[in-house]
Structure 1
Amino acid sequence: MTKAVVLGAAGGIGQPLSLLLKVNPLITELGLYDIVNTPGVAADLSHIDSPAKVEGYLPPDDGLAKTLKGADIVVIPAGVPRKPGMTRDDLFKINAGIVRDLATGIAKTCPKAFVLVISNPVNSTVPVVVEVFKQHGVFDPKRIFGVTTLDVVRASTFVAEVIGDLAKAPSISVPVIGGHSGVTIVPLLSQSSQPLPSGYSQEQIAALTNRVQFGGDEVVKAKDGAGSATLSMAYAGAEFAEKVLRAVKGEKGIIAPSFVHLSADAAGGKAVQSEIGSTLDYFSARVELGPGGVEKIHPIGEVSEYEQGLIKAAVPELAKNIDAGNAFIHGSKL
């Protein structure tokens, strides 16, 4: 029996994410929570002929605790979407409070659950969750993940477009490290399982890198103020959740980039810190998953001179983002 919970289930990411989790055969129970419309979303999904039983709750009558009771994995897409001209820093001011309150509910009700944070800006909201868990004495770095899978999915898709064969996209692996916003997103195209075409210039590599880093802006602009990357993010969130669940059930060798607290694997975390030349507590690295969550943090490995420059640019921005998340909790009352 596996219970998954989506916090923010009635939103633009939450609804398609809940749909994808409902049809995942690894899930037998699905709890949905939001400030509006969750019973309706749950009723709609409950008509789908897959095994998972669905229940939806609203805030009244301790709805958050009811949703979280018995949860094995909690996915958090709650928060406001990014609008044209809005930075992830703007988002943080709104979403940090939402994430703090949800994290408090998880810490009190199901502290052993795996927590997958989608709410932007991930570089800051993951530290918010961690600091809340620390205050409640239930912090386990192996069980808290920032979902950066969309950057990986974009990199694979864009490389497939470059080689002119989208059918290969699902099998293309491009490690994406660092964080989950702008210059903190570092796609390691030199490590792509599908080499770029011979003669692909440095200017083209830089343009492709920029597209991965700012792919979210591409979607916001295309939606013309009507939303952000909700469908692709829901897909990415469901993909990462499935990897965690498969690893929990004993499947070996599942490796996926994720923004984690580097103490989740002391040796691996120190190796990454050495590679990036920084003592950052968090970094998105290639994480090997196991029954307890983070099994191993893999080193970055050999990168190009250009990618070394990207990492160097990412580190100070990441430090700022992480500090903002920490300061939000320690400068406010729970």
Structure 2
Amino acid sequence: MVKAVVLGAAGGIGQPLALLLKANPLVTELGLFDIVNTPGVAADLSHISTPAKVEGYLPPDDGLKKALTGADIVVIPAGVPRKPGMTRDDLFKINAGIVRDLATGIATTAPKAFVLVISNPVNSTVPIVAEVFKKHGVFDAKRLFGVTTLDVVRASTFVAEVLGDLSAAPSVTVPVVGGHSGVTIIPLLSQSSKPLPSGFASDKLEALTKRVQFGGDEVVKAKDGAGSATLSMAYAGAEFASKVLRALKGEKGIVAPSYVHLSAEKASGDALKKEIGKELEYFSAPIELGPEGVVSIRPLGTLTDYEKGLLSAAIPELETNIEKGVSFIGNSKL
């Protein structure tokens, strides 16, 4: 029996994410929570002929606690999407409080659950969840993940487009490390499982890198103010959740990218800090998953000079983002 919970289940990411989890045969119970419309979303999903029992809750009558009771995995897409002209600072001010309150609910009701954070800005919201858990004495770095899978999905798709063969996209693997916004997103294109064409021009490499880093802007612009990356994010979130669920069931050798606290596995986390040359608390890297969560944090491998430059540019931004999340809880009353 596996219970998955989606917090923010009636939103643009939450609904398609809940649909994909309902379709996942590893899920036997699906708890949905949001501030509006959740019972309707649950009723709609409950008609789908897959094993998962679905229940939806609203805030009244301890709805958050009811949704979280017995949870094995909690996915958090809650919050507002980024709109045209909205900075990540604007986004932070709104979403930080939402994530803090949901994290408090998890800490008190389902402290052993795997927690997958989608709510942006992930570089700051994951530290918010960690700090809330620390205040409640339930922090386990092995079970807290920032979902960065969309960056990998985009990199795979865009490389397949460059190669002129979209059918290859599912088999293209590009490690994407660092963080989950703008310049903190570092696609290691030199390590793509299907190499870029020989002699790929440096200006094209830079354009491809920027497309991976700022793919979200491409979607916001295309939706003309009507939304952000919801469907692709739901797909990426469900893909990562599926890997966590498979590892929970005992499948070995599952590796997926994630933004984690580097104490999740001390030896490999310390090795990664040496590799990046900085004492960062959080970083996104390929993670080996197991029944207890993080088994090991994989090294970055050999970087090109261009990729080393991307890493240098990412670190100061990451430091600022992490501190913003930690400080928010330090200054908050829980």
CA deviations over 1:253-297 (Å, ceiling 9, x no partner) = 111110000000111111111111100000001100000000000
Structure 1 equivalent of residue 247 of structure 2: 247
CA deviations over 1:168-224 (Å, ceiling 9, x no partner) = 101110000000000000000000000001121111111000000000000000000
Structure 2 gap ranges (5+):
none
Which amino acid is 1:109 matched to? T
Which amino acid is 1:68 matched to? L
Secondary structure class of the residue paired with 2:263: helix
Structure 1 equivalent of residue 145 of structure 2: 145
Structure 2 equivalent of residue 29 of structure 1: 29
Which amino acid is 2:58 matched to? L
Distance 1:54 1:299 in 2: 39
The answer on 1:88 being equivalent to 2:119 is: no
Distance 1:87 1:264 in 2: 31
Distance 2:255 2:316 in 1: 26
Distance 2:87 2:256 in 1: 26
Distance 1:56 1:257 in 2: 30
CA deviations over 1:104-129 (Å, ceiling 9, x no partner) = 00000000000000000000000000
Distance 1:270 1:296 in 2: 11
Structure 1 equivalent of residue 290 of structure 2: 290
Structure 1 equivalent of residue 308 of structure 2: 308
CA deviations over 1:23-75 (Å, ceiling 9, x no partner) = 00000000000000000000000000000000000000000000000000000
- CA offset at residue 314 of structure 1? 0.3
TM-score of the aligned structures, taking structure 1 as reference length: 1.00
Structure 2 equivalent of residue 231 of structure 1: 231
TM-score of the aligned structures, taking structure 2 as reference length: 1.00
Structure 1 gap ranges (5+):
none
Distance 1:165 1:151 in 2: 19
Secondary structure class of the residue paired with 1:80: coil
Distance 1:256 1:305 in 2: 25
Which amino acid is 2:323 matched to? D
Which amino acid is 1:2 matched to? V
Secondary structure class of the residue paired with 2:286: strand
Distance 1:199 1:135 in 2: 53
Which amino acid is 1:65 matched to? K
Secondary structure class of the residue paired with 1:263: coil
Structure 1 equivalent of residue 134 of structure 2: 134
Give the number of aligned pairs.
Answer: 334
Which amino acid is 1:226 matched to? A
Alignment of 1:190-209 (within 5 A): 190-209=190-209
- CA offset at residue 88 of structure 1? 1.8
| Greater shift in the superposed pair: 198-207 or 217-226 | 198-207
Distance 2:83 2:56 in 1: 28
Moved over 6 A (4+): none
Secondary structure class of the residue paired with 2:264: helix
RMSD of Structure 2 on Structure 1 (CA): 0.4
Structure 1 equivalent of residue 259 of structure 2: 259
- CA offset at residue 87 of structure 1? 2.0
Which amino acid is 2:79 matched to? G
Distance 1:87 1:277 in 2: 29
Secondary structure class of the residue paired with 1:4: strand
The answer on 1:105 being equivalent to 2:105 is: yes
Q: Percent sequence identity over matched residues?
A: 79
| Greater shift in the superposed pair: 53-62 or 262-271 | 262-271
- CA offset at residue 89 of structure 1? 1.9
